[in-house]
Copies of this chain bind each other. A is one copy, B any other.
Amino acid sequence: MSTQPARGMRDFLPEEVRRRQYVMGVIAEVYERYGFEPLETPAAENIETLLGKYGEEGDKLIFKILRRGEREGTGEADLALRYDLTVPLARVVAEYRAKLPKFFKRYQVQPVWRADRPQKGRFREFYQCDVDAIGSRSMAVEAELLAAASDVFARLGFGDFVIRLNDRRVLNGLIDASGVPAELHDSALVALDKLDKAGRDGVAAELSSRGVPAQAAATLLDCFGSMSASGTNEEILAAYGRGLRGHEAGGQGLADLGQILALSASTSAAGHIRLDPSLARGLSYYTGAIMEINVPHLAGSLAGGGRYDNLIGMFLGEDVPACGISLGLERILVVMGERNMFPPSAVAAPADIMLTVWNAQRLGETLALAAVLRKAGLRVDVYPEADKIGKQFKYAASRGVPFVGVVGDDEQAKGVVAIKNLATGEQTPVPRDQVAEFVKAGR
């Protein structure tokens, strides 16, 4: 029988758990500092809660759980594994509306499951890390989300991150104002999303093939062409204003972008935000500001999000304002690993010191010494058997433990512990009551 984890899923051995916990800890600490609160929902949802929420392709990727008992044989499913953290949030907002604060700011870091074909960096069980602020249309929400994400990336060591910012209403407004027929707006948006990669000619061809009239396509592309990728935020705002030709919804988006920039001037996001006309974020459900966070020399983004005022109310049957950012936790972990960005605390040895056992009769004394050191705050491993002392040292070295303590007959007589620093090889007799300090000083 195979003892590998199920296809596309991963075991996390201790070193890996430590790295993951470090990143999740930074994320939680930063978001708590912004007044966001933790939420957890069950791994399984009633199947009706999930089906139909992710499109036809999404439905196929949902892991479904067989009914149990007499109905197991029917092959019917009544439950399904969580596919994202947004639908459960919408359910929670509907279920506990009376208990939740008017402005519900939650972060949620939990696994989701998708029956995708596994490939490098894509798993069937992976963590999502979603941060959403529900209940307000104020641009303070966008500004706070960008500031918090900035703090997270700065704390993790991505000092040079760039926040790309845009607005769906501006994009739609530019498309509308260029004379693209209403029924082709979405189509044009999808084409424009590729401006980065396909270039003007590529997008022109796609717009044509999607049936956008040549004149409208040319106006639209001229408008985008007039906005240099290296334009300042002010230049892009001005170009947006010209292209929108007084378009009302687009103008509201433009005003909001200006406000986000102004509000961010004295937050952690200051200097990191770049308006990016080519940012469209696919065919997703955004209704206002959209954002992605990138770092140099890395294709793809480490976080993305935006305002989506029409989704969280899906179970309530009404619009509930919402804006959120999803951090690409698995991606962040991969990049931090590749770039050796984990601090020593995240790649800690399994213990600060390992105590050896001189002989079977002395095991109790070893445990007594361990008790004292643990009370002093040290992480202490005890070799459990009275093996030859060399074997015990070898074991400590193989585990990367920095210090080893020995109480031989000599040390016993003198009331000291011989502490060996495995990095330097130096061995020091340390009075029993000073061992904790000695190890802490050398940590």
Chain A interfacial positions (CB closer than 8 Å to B): 1-6, 9-14, 17-18, 20-21, 32-35, 37-46, 48-49, 60-61, 63-66, 68-69, 72-77, 79, 81, 91-92, 94-96, 99-103, 105-106, 111, 113, 115, 125, 133, 136, 138-141, 143-144, 147, 151, 262-268, 315, 350-351, 354, 357, 363-364, 366-368, 370-371, 374, 377-385, 395, 398-399
Contact = CB atoms under 8 A, between A and B. Distances in A.
Contacts of A368: 265-267
B17 A364 contact: no
A9 B95 CA distance: 14
Given A35-B351, A64-B65, A267-B367, A1 B125 contact: no
Contacts of A385: 136, 138, 140
A350 to B, nearest CB: 5
B68 A66 contact: no
B151 A48 contact: no
Given A68-B115, A385-B136, A95 B34 contact: no
A12 B34 contact: no
Contacts of A138: 363, 384-385
Contacts of A75: 66, 73-76
Contact of A101 (B46, B66, B398): B398
A292 B241 CA distance: 72
Contacts of A73: 75
How many copies, total?
A: 2
Nearest to A82: B43
B363 A45 contact: no
A14 B41 CA distance: 11
Contacts of A41: 5, 11-12
Contacts of A46: 2, 6
**Residue among A9, A13, A264 with the highest chain B CB neighbour number at 10 A:** A13
Contacts of A2: 46
Nearest to A395: B102
Contact of A42 (B9, B140, B370): B9
B65 A65 contact: yes
A40 B11 contact: yes
A225 B359 CA distance: 39
A140 B35 contact: no
B266 A143 contact: no
A81 B65 contact: yes
A384 B133 CA distance: 10
Contact of A266 (B42, B267, B354, B367): B367
B14 A364 contact: no
A38 B9 contact: no
B364 A5 contact: no
A42 B125 contact: yes
Nearest to A96: B13
A5 B263 contact: no
B81 A364 contact: no
